[in-house]
Amino acid sequence: MNDDSHYVIVGAGSAGCALAYRLVQAGRTVTMIEFGGTDFGPFIQMPGALSYPMNMPRYDWGYRSQPEPHLGGRSLATPRGKVLGGSSSINGMVFVRGHASDFDHWASIGAAGWSYADVLPYFRRMETWHGGTSPWRGDSGPLHITRGSRLNPLFDAFIAAGQQAGWPATSDYNGEQQEGFGPMEATIWQGRRWSAANAYLRPAMATGRLRLIRGLAQRVVFDGDRAVGVEIQRGRATKVVRARSEVILSASSINTPKLLMLSGIGPADHLRDQGIAVRADRPGVGANLQDHLEVYIQYRASQPITLYSYYNMWGKGRVGAEWLLRRTGLGASNQFESCGFIRSSDKVDYPDIQYHFLPLAVRYDGKSAVKGHGFQAHVGPMRSKSRGHVRLASADPAAAPEIRFDYMSHPDDWAEFRACIRLTRKIFDQPAFDPYREAEIQPGPDVQSDAEIDAFIREHAESAYHPCGTARIGATDDEAAVVDPELRVIGVSGLRVADSSVFPRITNGNLNAPSIMVGEKAADHVLGQGMLESGLPAAGTSEAAE
């Protein structure tokens, strides 16, 4: 390969890997810049070990939010993948496209060409779905989507309890009907985490048209107002990686706005305060930061059937050995095998609450509020009205940015979270859980009033690790927009953004799937060869398998 490629992509994460794959498939050359190291090893590749990599400095940038004033001044962890595959290599592997109305909302506020009818062909193109036959799903894409075996009876008890509480069942929440309770899907294939690195990056590198360079991206390099490369730091050396056609930032909703601001693109006053020359005054860079908060509703189990039996040195050793030898057993699952998407009231147009069910009472950091058998639901509102920002803490590219979510700053968030907790209790109180439910652990039976629930939320709400929105799509005359509907950065040329930064509003569920979709669709915008044909299948045509 020549020293310069057609395209330079910053970030080997979910969107960047998908984008690179499609560009090299089309015969283009790509140089990808990634600061993180290899994703080889059981902590990443074994689905059951998911709590480890997001807590390891080797794989995670280690970011934390500023003290959150509405959460008692707590600083919350903000993991982002610092490894090949990005956050798809350290996440929980849950696969959720989002609701159709999410994308229709994007289109209605200036993201022309991003309605659900527009993006559905890209969701289909990117996946090989192993859940049945459906015109809503793909069957030949690089990303394998599977379902857990649900051998533990608690998984089906959760689905049954949701229906007993009055909500529908859904055979495929990523298909025609998101609303309801049903099996959860995951980016797991043949017992292995099927990250963007496994699905996209390695096949792209095998073509010989993708060059991977390790280094810290410091700024985008311009010739006039056109992006022509990226300055990187490798050890003590600084070099410029040049692009013959375009530079594309896929560095995450935290690092992408940071890199834009270091390059002089962002809120002018903030850039001047940091001593950075203003190239394009875009107030939306770093603004519009959104996330999902959640709490864990935990119950003690009356039967010894939970994962707690394996939550010790010997149990973990047995699970790990079986996975290493056969890629089977508990280690081959992320243990999120059933879920729910519900509306908090009949006044809500489409689901605004999401559930992850887990047959263990534990937190993502591995700490437990109780010793013994238990189970839990992760629950939180999907469309918080609170907004935060990412700003530079320093003009030093090696410095962590300032991350301020301003969680729970909108009064509606509190009412929605109270509804989450009360509705979850209603679900766990159903007959389906009678054989398994002993007593509520968290919040605890004494937490009943609005004030008591609010205090619990303030102390215990945690991020679901879904930051997005910091370089949003919009019309070119929208001062708050950062990229146009073709993902071109407004105010300069030769520069695009393709990652979860561009989401105008957070989607209904986990963000890995829509982030990969952005990379897939970005490739067609970059190539300029036309988009996939827009359209939706006829209603009632899904045949998902249980």
The secondary structure of residue 429, as a DSSP letter, is T
Q: Which two tokens stand for residue 482?
A: 């950062």
**Torsion of the alpha carbons at 144, 150, 151 and 153, rounded to the nearest 10:** 170
CA distance 366 to 376: 14
545 contacts: CB under 8 Å, gap ≥ 6:
131, 132, 171
Pairing of strands 77-78, 63-64: antiparallel
User: What's the chain's length in residues?
Assistant: 546
Whether 466 is catalytic is yes
Distance separating alpha carbons of residues 260 and 249, to the nearest angstrom = 9
What DSSP string runs through 463-523?
E-S--B-TT-B--TT-TT-SB-TT-BBTTSBSEEE-SGGG-SS--SS-SHHHHHHHHHHHH
- Output the six-digit token pair for 340: 């729910």
Strand boundaries in 23-62, DSSP class E:
30-34
Instruction: Return the residue matching tokens 């794959």.
Output: 21
Contact 5, 243 (CB under 8 A): yes
Amino acid at 329: G
Helix residue ranges per DSSP H, 26-90: 42-45
* CB contact set of 335 (below 8 Å; sequence gap of 6+): 48, 148, 307, 358, 359, 360
What is the dihedral angle through the alpha carbons of 35, 463, 43, 12, rounded to the nearest 10 degrees?
-30
| DSSP label at residue 133 | E
What one-character-per-residue DSSP string does 335-398 give? S--EEEEE-SSTTSSS--EEEEEESS---TTS--SSSS-EEEEEEEES-----BEEE-S-S-TT
Instruction: Please provide residue 180's backbone torsions phi and psi, each rounded to the nearest 5 degrees.
Output: 130, -175
Asked whether the beta carbons of 147 and 184 are under 8 A apart, the reply is yes
Give Cα separations from 188 to 93, 129, 137, 277, 321 (angstroms).
Answer: 7, 11, 16, 45, 18
Amino acid at site 248? I
* CB 200 within 8 Å of CB 142: yes
Which of 105, 389, 466, 525 is labelled catalytic? 466
Q: CA-CA distance, 214 to 378, in Å (whole number)?
A: 36
Alpha carbons 175 and 538: distance in angstroms, whole number: 12
12 close to 84: Cβ distance less than 8 angstroms: yes
| Residues assigned a catalytic role | 466
